[in-house]
Amino acid sequence: MITVDNLVKVYRDVRALDGLNLKVKPGQVYGFLGPNGAGKSTTILSLLGLIFPQKGRIELLNEEVFRNGRFDEGKLVKAKARIGYMPEHATLWEFLTPLQTLDIIGKAFRMSRAEREKRAEEVLKLVNLWEVKNRKVGKFSKGMRQRLLLAQALINDPELLILDEPMTGLDPKGIAEFKDIIREQRKAGKTVFFSSHILAHVEEVCDTVGVIVKGKLILEDSIENIKREFLRKAGYTIIVETNRPVDFSGVGWNVTPLGENKYRVVSQEDIREELHDFVASQGAKILTMQVKEPSLEEIFLKMVK
């Protein structure tokens, strides 16, 4: 769906993208992470042909739309007809209603009147704005505007959704609904590429993440693999509760008592089987055992540092 090879974008003396490489496969929900100024928005705007990188290659939906400082306008227009885009910062027409807004966007995609009306009803119901379909956008809250921006990104029933910080300004209910929409898009076979600084949101809905720092992708993998590799390098933290006290003196693990018959065991390897045998050798039984997995935020912060 998206392939970026060695993309370079320089603003005067600032290298916003420094040989960026990434790949988004069909059907993925891809979370694009990075600190402020890392190059997330520059990447998205480059994908859409809204800014011009100096070097590299971009492929969208099997169309090579950019190579070494030049966009192929015909291929870019063809690809963008199959893409929905929700910008982080956008100006909506304050004097129009949601129905009127979506009608204009639908016309830009050359949809027929019947298609525009049918699709507008579908997406406004999806984002819970149907009841206010005839209210002026100027009276909308921040969260309502975000939902309308998502609706316009969905109006053409895109194969690829590109979302820039899509959950900004939403209340908890709106965030939950937004996550459900993303999951529904994945079930429908759509591909979703979105940037976010709220890592908990990414962890809940994405199957793959890419981390960009100073214009370079420093990691790209599934969340499961990232956590597994992090545990392998940082060590395993295991919380174990037994039916009677256990003497851990002399073992090679870092053991901290957490309460009566409850311990935190830290090891560079997964020692759950050895731990089970050790406890049994002292005539005790394990009541509960849990590997404490790091959150995506913990891993991200350590990587960025």
What number of other Cβ atoms are within 10 A of residue 59's Cβ? Answer: 19
Please tell me whether residues 55 and 171 are part of one structural domain: yes
**What pLDDT, in 10s, does the model give residues 6-24?**
999 999 888 999 999 999 9
| 44 assigned to some structural domain | yes
pLDDT of residue 305: 62
**Rounded CA separation 280/297 (Å):** 36
Host domain of residue 195: 2-222
| 121 assigned to some structural domain | yes
| 228 assigned to some structural domain | no
pLDDT of residue 2: 96
Q: In this structure, what CATH number is given to the domain that contains residue 294?
A: 3.30.70.1560
pTM of the entire predicted model? 0.79
Mean pLDDT of the chain: 89
- Our count of domains for the chain comes to 2
| 100 assigned to some structural domain | yes
Q: What is the DSSP track for 133-198?
A: TTS-GGG--HHHHHHHHHHHHHTT--SEEEEESTTTT--HHHHHHHHHHHHHHHHTT-EEEEE-S-
**What pLDDT, in 10s, does the model give residues 246-293?**
999 888 888 999 988 999 998 878 888 999 999 999 899 999 998 877
Higher pLDDT, 4 or 296: 4
Please tell me whether residues 208 and 253 are part of one structural domain: no
